[in-house]
Every structure is written in structure tokens, then in C-alpha cells.
Amino acid sequence: MVVRDDQGYLLYLTLNMIKYVSLFVAEVESLRWATEYTKQCGWRRLEWETDAKEVEKVGWKVNWRIRNNNMVVNAVAKLSLSINRASVFDEFSLDLIPPCNMGKILAEKVNVALEMKKHYKLEVEYMFRAPDCIERPVLAVNGQFPAPTIRARRGDTMVIKVTNRLYTDEVSIHWHGIRQRGTPWADGTSSIAQCPIRPGESFVYRFKVDKPGTFIYHGHHGLHRTDGLYGFLIVEVAEGEKEPFHYDGEFNLLLSDWWHRPAHEQQIMLSAKPFRWVGEPQTLLINGRGQYNCTLAPGYATSNSSYPPCNFKGHEQCAPTILNVLPNKTYRIRVVSVTGLGSENLIIANHTMTVVEADGNYVEPFTVDNLDVHTGESYSVLISTNQNPNENYWVSVGVIARPFIIPPGLTILNYLPNSAWKLPISQPPLHPRWDDLEHNKNFTKSIFALKGTPKPPRKAHRRIVLLITDHLVDGYTKWAVNKVSLVLPSTPYLGAIKYGLKHAFDQRPPPENFANDYDIMRPAYGNATFGNGVYVLDFNTTVDLILQNANAMDNFSGSHPWHFHGHDFWVVGHGEGKFSEKDVKKLNLKNPPLKNTEVVFSNGWTALRFVADNPGVWLFHCHLEHHLIMGMGVVFSVGVDRLPELPPEGLACGLTAEFLMRHKHT
Ligand SMILES: [Cu+2]
């Protein structure tokens, strides 16, 4: 086939190429940039003609640049086609930047079938919003709260320029669930991978998304997540690949919790001596929307009956996101939780959910009435809209694992063409009790890897047992791991370790275990310390991490969802009480799920196995943001000597800044 541009230049395309190019256009359209795009580039004026076979060796590279108010997207696509698996590929560059001169052609050999670079520009700023009908400053991205959804395809290279438009705060963005293989400096953890971005400055995150799945991006500096700095990062399968399940449509649920007190004040409270607790959140948000001073379900027992009914017109910032569906279809719902405290349970009344993905990994499908989502976890579930099409149904989110004092977050599954505001006839569904630990455990233990998922090595080279306790350290209330409360250093570990800057952090290795006679049912108040030492792992070794829960100072043992950066791990076991040698034999090495976040339940343990095959410095921490800031985390270093020269942009602070200045000309 031949494409003729509006200046009459003939461009060769194969059928597959056209498919790809039209997919780009479809993608652009789905992002609602089509109008401007077509206006600028006159894409629709292209004519298509059939032509000779020889062009089947041809590949394409398409650049585009689209402006939509605050967001600029540049994309480069290299398209190529393999003929009978012969490795002959060509690459053309088709420049669609206005004025869309399509004659700019460049040919070079490439050996990728499809590689895309997606450029995004994210500006982080404070804005006034009323996510739960009460106005306060929130962290917005490109003027949106929650931050806009980023979509990519497996194999894409993301180039994301983050600009800090805050007045006094530093910022960094973590791409949660992306392993950052080969790009540990783009992990977005301030003090670990990079120096935080200063007000007015920008940092470009470049990384590859190497597997499809449901991910998130969120602030990883201070308590920024609690102020609303989060959004979806969705990676589709690569072109030509298929998901192992079918669905007709998709929608996303981003679950979070919301305080009326800004995160900055909360951070000061948590760091105060004596300690000041921030309390439970005021509202649960679904896609950044919740109702504090009114209720969608007036008069029902599960709602807070002291609130008046909400009278939404739909444009209010706290009006719920209605989920519109057609009857007799299958929908994929991507669910993530970014809560600061507590975990959540999702129910779609009258509909069962089939879980097919957890943390960006496929799982053996299983069906549930309600779904537990711990903070940092992501799931995909499938639902069939096979209920009475004349009704709408409640979508409800309740708190688990913390005292249930806030009403559930509600929205509506709207069967079209019913009115969105037709309230369901039944009362909102009841969630499992917040302290129904058996329910939580049963759910977690139902997750197994989809057949064909890589299995863990049979044996681990090293076992690190991590005891979680809280303490008074120098009069400050802190969490600790093996009695060390993590205090992040001002120089990022990655640079410090790469350049051998020994004063940047504590050089003593942290403890690998805790005292044998420690009674996990009896809280220990004293003898913990502050620290920031690093567990150095030998490259390519298999490591077992045992999270050991214990009773806290208030004689209560809460659940903690732990998130690992840079790697997925296999969840090889959960158990009650204290982990012991005899538990090793019972670990599941047959079909454990691969995840990046896993909970350790009250008074129990969780065993995780992973292969330390990704050079970098990686945080492993409780994803309850208030716990991390109070010291509940550890740092691993893996094969940093194997890394090439680090990009200096993220190292302009602390001792690495000094080091780079000294070595500028050497
Ligand atoms: Cu925790």
C-alpha cells in the first residue's frame, strides 16, 4: 500500500503498518486529543492506495506531538515488520509535528517489532478542591485530581518530565509496580534513588514498561500520597498480544482515604515529642470523590444517617463517578488502593467478581463476592452485567483492618439506559467486619499464580527475618524493624553506594533477625535505635524475607501491607505466631503468586522469596504512609557496581552533589 501525504509525497505502508498507525490514531482519539491532532496534522486527509509487495520489508517510526492544555505528549513509534521471521527491518521517521511535514524520512536498521516512546509532562501543584465536599488544598497534577491516568503498552519507553510547581515542598514520583530494570535512578524514591525535585525544577523519568498490568504512580516524598498525589499507570499488552481473558469494556477504581487536616500538619504531628496521632481519615474516596456532609444512601443503616441526602447535579467535585455499563457484557475493573492508613474492601452489589490479575501479574481466576485491597495492591476483576437491567446497583468501599468508624464510600453501577441517579432499590451491601481477620486471610490465601507463571527457585541463599515493633526512641514514638527505625539520609543511597561515600549513611549492616527469646505477644518498649543501614544482597542470589508481626505498645497487632521496589516477589507463605524452621517445609513453591505488595497479618508472619537480579538500591516498606514516615522500612542494595555511570540529574544534593562537583573534570 502507498500513503500519499497532503504534499503529495508517497509513503509506503504494509497492511500491518496501517493497522498500527490507525491504532495510534485510535489511541490518540481515546485520549480526546483527536480534534487538535487532526487539525494540526491533517491526518484524515491521507489517501490510501494499494501497491507492490516489496514494501513488506518496510518499517515505520512515527513521531507525534500533541498539545492539550497542560499536557504535551510526544511519541515516537518505530514500526517494523518481519517477513518470514527474517531479521530485515527498516525504520522510517514520519514527522507529524506541525506543520506535519511527512517528507522527513530516515531509514536505519532496527530489530524491534514495535517500540514506542511516550513523552508526558506532569506538573505537580497545590489546588483548592473539595474531594469530599469540604474544600482544602490538594496535590493535583496538570490541574487534575486525582492525577491523570497514564496509559502505555508493554515495551514502551516512558519519558515523563515531572515539574515541581509547589511553593516550598520538594517532590518525587514513584512508578509503583514498575520494576525499573536497568533504570534504578528512575524509581522516584527520594533519598534512595534520587534527590527530591526542588520547587520550580523538573526531573525526567525515563524507564521501560516491560510487562502489562495495573500500576499506579504516586508521590514518594513525605506524606504526599496522603495529600492526593496519585494516579493510574496502566500498561496494556503489546500490539498483537492478547490478555488471557476476554472483556468488552473497562473502568478503573482508585481507592483512597481522605483527611481534612493537610498532610504537612500530619507529618509534624507524627514527628512531635510527645507524639500526636492524626486519627482515622474522615472520608473514603473512589476516584478522588467521596461524600462527607451528605450521603448517597439516606436512611440506610450502613450510611451515616446524621448526614442529609446528597443532591448532586453531577458537576460537583464530590459527586460520585458513576460507572456506566451496558447489560450482558463483561467488564474489567482495575482496582488499586493508595490509602494512607488501613485497607479496603470492595463490593459491587448483586455482582460477583472474578479476580484475574494482582499487582501486574496474572493469577488463577477465582470468584468472590467482595474484594480486599490493601494499600499498594492492585487487582483486575471481571464482572458480568447479568442482573436485572432495569435497576442500578451499589458499588461500596469499606475499611478493613482498622476500626470501622467512617461510613463506606459509595457510587453507582449504572445499567444504561437507566438514569444514573436512579438509586438502587436495596440498601448498600454490608462489608465483612473490620476485624474479621479470618475473612482477610482467606481472601489472600485464595490467590495463586496463573499456570505458566515462573516458579521460585527451590532454595534461598539467604533468609532475612524482619520483626515489626513500635517503640519510644529518645522519647519519639516510632516504628522499627529488628529494633531499627528507618530515618532516610539526605544523600540518596544509590549515588552514595555507587561512589563509595561512606559518610552518607550508617555503614553497619542492619540485623538479619531478632532475639530468639523475643515474645511477639509482649510489646517491647525500649532499646530501639534510629538507623539507616543497608542490607547488601549478592547479585542474582535468592533471598527469603520473613515479615514477623508482633503486638504493638497498645497491645494490638495491626496488619501491614509491605511493598517492594525494583522486584516482584513470590508470596510463599503466611502463618500464625512466630515463624520457625519447621515452617520452611510448608512454603508453597508450586504456584505462589508474584506480587509487589503483600500484607503481614496481625500476630503472624508472611514469607516472600525473590531473586536479587535488578541492580539498584531498593526500599522495602510498609505501604501505610504514616507507618513508613515513622520508620517502618528497610533498604536493600543489589549489585550497584554493575550499574553504568549514573545520570547526574538526580544526584545534586547532599554528599553526591559535593562528589560530582569535585569530579567534574576527571
Ligand atoms: Cu504498617
Question: What are the helix (H) ranges across 480-636?
Answer: 493-498, 625-629
Nearest CA to 573 among 441, 439, 415, 379? 441
Beta bridge partners of 609: 544, 570
333/471 same-domain check: no
261/407 same-domain check: yes
Between CA 122 and CA 143 the distance in angstroms is: 10
Ligand 1 center from residue 556 Cα (angstroms): 13
Structural domain contains residue 7: yes
Instruction: Give the model's pLDDT for residue 207.
Output: 96
Instruction: Give the model's pLDDT for residue 305.
Output: 63
Ligand 1 center from residue 148 Cα (angstroms): 27
Q: Please report which confidence band the pLDDT of residue 590 belongs to, taking 50, 70 and 90 as the band edges.
A: very high
Among 6-20, 98-112, 383-397, 633-647, the range scoring the smallest mean pLDDT is 98-112
422/305 same-domain check: yes
Which tens digits make up the pLDDT trace of 378-419?
Answer: 999 999 999 999 999 999 999 987 776 788 999 999 999 999
Ligand 1 center from residue 616 Cα (angstroms): 24
Is the per-residue pLDDT at 200 higher than 50?
Answer: yes
What integer is the mean pLDDT of 246-259? Answer: 96
224/90 same-domain check: no
The answer to whether 12 and 58 are in contact (CB under 8 A) is yes
Is the per-residue pLDDT at 204 higher than 50?
Answer: yes
Structural domain contains residue 666: no
Is the per-residue pLDDT at 657 higher than 50?
Answer: yes
The answer to whether 471 and 524 are in contact (CB under 8 A) is yes
CB atoms within 10 A of CB 82: 15
Ligand 1 center from residue 225 Cα (angstroms): 15
Q: Please report which confidence band the pLDDT of residue 17 belongs to, taking 50, 70 and 90 as the band edges.
A: very low
What integer is the mean pLDDT of 223-250? Answer: 95
Is the per-residue pLDDT at 72 higher than 60?
Answer: no
Residue 86: which domain range?
1-112
Structural domain contains residue 665: no
Q: Please report which confidence band the pLDDT of residue 303 belongs to, taking 50, 70 and 90 as the band edges.
A: low
Ligand 1 center from residue 147 Cα (angstroms): 25
Output the CA–CA distances (angstroms, integers) from residue 110 to 53, 77, 88, 115, in the order listed.
20, 12, 8, 10
The secondary structure of 201-252, three-state, reads CEEEEEEECCCCEEEEEEECCCCCCCCCCEEEEEEECCCCCCCCCCCCEEEE
Q: Give the residue from 383, 415, 444 where a domain finishes.
A: 444
Ligand 1 center from residue 460 Cα (angstroms): 26
Ligand 1 center from residue 559 Cα (angstroms): 7
Ligand 1 center from residue 172 Cα (angstroms): 21
Ligand 1 center from residue 349 Cα (angstroms): 30
Q: Give helix 15-30 / helix 34-41 axis angle, nearest 10°.
A: 130
440/476 same-domain check: no
226/278 same-domain check: no
Ligand 1 center from residue 468 Cα (angstroms): 9
Structural domain contains residue 8: yes
Which tens digits make up the pLDDT trace of 444-455?
Answer: 999 999 999 999
Among 15-24, 613-622, 643-652, the range scoring the smallest mean pLDDT is 15-24
Q: Residue with C-alpha cell 505488595? A: 597
Structural domain contains residue 455: no
Q: Residue with C-alpha cell 488544598? A: 137
What integer is the mean pLDDT of 223-231? Answer: 97
Ligand 1 center from residue 160 Cα (angstroms): 30
Ligand 1 center from residue 625 Cα (angstroms): 8
Q: Please report which confidence band the pLDDT of residue 304 belongs to, taking 50, 70 and 90 as the band edges.
A: low
Q: Give the residue from 65, 92, 112 where a domain finishes.
A: 112
Ligand 1 center from residue 276 Cα (angstroms): 17
Q: Please report which confidence band the pLDDT of residue 135 belongs to, taking 50, 70 and 90 as the band edges.
A: very high
Which tens digits make up the pLDDT trace of 491-528?
Answer: 999 999 999 999 999 999 999 999 888 899 988 767 89
Ligand 1 center from residue 666 Cα (angstroms): 45
480/536 same-domain check: yes
150/104 same-domain check: no
Which tens digits make up the pLDDT trace of 571-589?
Answer: 999 999 999 999 999 999 9
Ligand 1 center from residue 227 Cα (angstroms): 18
Ligand 1 center from residue 560 Cα (angstroms): 4
7/72 same-domain check: yes
Ligand 1 center from residue 190 Cα (angstroms): 19
Ligand 1 center from residue 627 Cα (angstroms): 5
Ligand 1 center from residue 317 Cα (angstroms): 31
Mean pLDDT of the chain: 84
Between CA 435 and CA 558 the distance in angstroms is: 10
Ligand 1 center from residue 648 Cα (angstroms): 33
Between CA 481 and CA 183 the distance in angstroms is: 28
294/369 same-domain check: yes
263/176 same-domain check: no
Ligand 1 center from residue 482 Cα (angstroms): 14
What's the grid cell of residue 321?
Answer: 463517578
Structural domain contains residue 186: yes
Structural domain contains residue 424: yes
Query: Among residues of the chain, what percentage have pLDDT more than 90?
Result: 72
Q: Give the residue from 91, 112, 133 where a domain finishes.
A: 112
Q: What is the count of structural domains for the chain? A: 4
Structural domain contains residue 450: no
Among 78-87, 380-389, 480-489, 519-528, the range scoring the smallest mean pLDDT is 78-87
What integer is the mean pLDDT of 114-131? Answer: 87
Query: What is the reported pTM?
Result: 0.83
CATH number for the domain spanning 301: value is 2.60.40.420
Ligand 1 center from residue 342 Cα (angstroms): 9
103/141 same-domain check: no
Which tens digits make up the pLDDT trace of 601-637?
Answer: 999 999 999 999 999 999 999 999 999 999 999 999 9
Q: Which residues contact 376 (CB under 8 A, 6 or more apart)?
A: 176, 337, 338, 561, 563, 596, 597, 623
Residue 64 vs residue 472, higher pLDDT: 472
